[in-house]
Amino acid sequence: MEDYLELLRAQSPAYARIAQTQRLDRTKVTYVGDQGADYPMIIPFRDDDAWSFAVAYPDCVHWYESRTQAAIPRLDAGARAVVTDWTGPKVSPDGEGDTGIIALLGIARLQQGAPHVSQDVADGQASSFRTHVLAAVACKALEPPDEALASMLLDDQQDEIPSTFFYDALYGCDMDRDDRRALPSTRPQRCDARTWSDDRHIILGNLCEAVRAYRSIQASDRRNLPTLWQSVTGSAIGSVFHERLNAVRFCEEMEGLGTPEDVRQAMSYSVDLECVPKMRGLQKQCEFWRDVCNLRRDWNMGKYVLLLALPTHPPLRQLATASKAQLLRNLKRRLDDETHPLETWLKQSQPLCAAIMTNSLPQKSLLIDIYLIRRHGEIDDADYEMYVNTNPQAKRALPR
């Protein structure tokens, strides 16, 4: 916990700072003091073997607790209100050892200005995020390079008693399958069933968020350069899908403009010459999402469904170029693998994705509207088909 928190503290820039960990005694008043009065401050707390945290803002303090039965501590935040109406996703009754992972997951997101994850996302990502934490701490880097991961595997294989947990964690990382085969190992090949299930959760979670954004702001399909520029610089509100879609569109618009004067004329308001290089720099960042879509260029407008296939954590804007290239290779490998169902699931999602893009979602609610407020285990084929269905009359009994 502390080692990973130190990696997060060293990260810059960040929306919120992370204070030193405090011991929590629920029988006494815990003083927040003036922490967060000028700048959002995340305060980790340790209570015996469990972890929780608070985020102190200038106007309030939000408490996050992953244990269902844990009492809300008495926080003295001065005149600021203490928010406890939603305290984040919960661990299972027999999974209190996961309170640290859930706390780190929330802290990492809130540090970058993103909200804490839903219960469904936490259930789906806890295992993979634990993998990320283990590798990051071992390599002393938030985004461990492939070479370091491979070296760690080789070192571990020389031990007389190999660590099963260590293998499980590192083999869950996003290494290329060819890289894994190159490593000497007598360990049986892992089953991809859990990865497949995660793929469906990722697609449906991104779709649900996009539908909610559509219904709340009626996101349009406008492609004019000023609108796209405002979106990709973070000035627009929407979903991860809309952010990625606008990144592709911005990249495509900029590619059609040759000179700085062409860029200036495409903007509906005057911009100075210093703005154009910034736009070109952001265009370079957006090329990743264009390359993702171009893995299935022959799908034409349907190619944008590929933007749903990648998770929201870690934030991809923070990844190094080599890490993005690896993500692209891994995605292409899974799409090209005839035994992997990812391409089929994405094709099933194309009509719903197109309806979001063209402002043609039905006014009546769809099953995807409530995906993120339900607790999910495995998603079977029939459930998935119902969730991506654009017919409001589609029915299926779903577990509560």
Q: Are residues 224 and 336 in the same domain?
A: yes
| pLDDT higher than 50, residue 332 | yes
Task: Please tell me whether residues 10 and 151 are part of one structural domain.
Answer: no
pTM beyond cutoff 0.75: no
- Give residue 283's domain range: 193-387
**273 within domain boundaries:** yes
- pLDDT tens figures, 131-164: 778 888 888 888 776 555 555 554 544 444 344 4
Q: What is the pLDDT of residues 6-43, one digit of tens each?
A: 999 887 666 788 999 999 988 888 888 888 888 889 99
90 & 154 share domain: no
**Separation between Cα atoms, residue 32 and residue 326, nearest integer Å:** 42
Total domains in the chain come to: 3
The verdict on residue 392 lying in a domain is: no
Residues 116 and 255 in one domain: no
CA distance 346 to 340: 12
157 and 107 together in one domain = no
- Digit-coded pLDDT (tens) for 56-67: 988 889 999 998
Question: Length of the chain in residues, anyone?
Answer: 400
Measure the CA–CA gap between 389 and 395, rounded to whole angstroms: 10
Q: What pLDDT digit, counting tens, does each position of 170-184 carry?
A: 444 443 333 333 333
> What is the residue-averaged pLDDT of the chain?
78
Among the candidates 137, 172, 203, a domain finishes at 137
Residues 228 and 124 in one domain: no
Question: Can you list the alpha helix ranges (DSSP code H) found in the chain?
Answer: 2-9, 99-111, 119-139, 146-157, 164-171, 177-181, 193-217, 225-232, 240-255, 260-266, 275-293, 321-336, 342-357, 381-387
Q: Using H for helix, E for strand and C for coil, what is the string for 348-366? A: HHHHHHHHHHCCCCCCCCC
pLDDT of residue 184: 33
pLDDT above 90 coverage of the chain, percent: 22
Q: What pLDDT digit, counting tens, does each position of 184-231 carry?
A: 333 333 334 444 557 888 888 888 888 877 765 554 454 567 666 655
Question: Which residues have a Cβ under 8 Å from the Cβ of 235 and sit 6 or more positions away?
Answer: none
Same domain, 234 and 345: yes
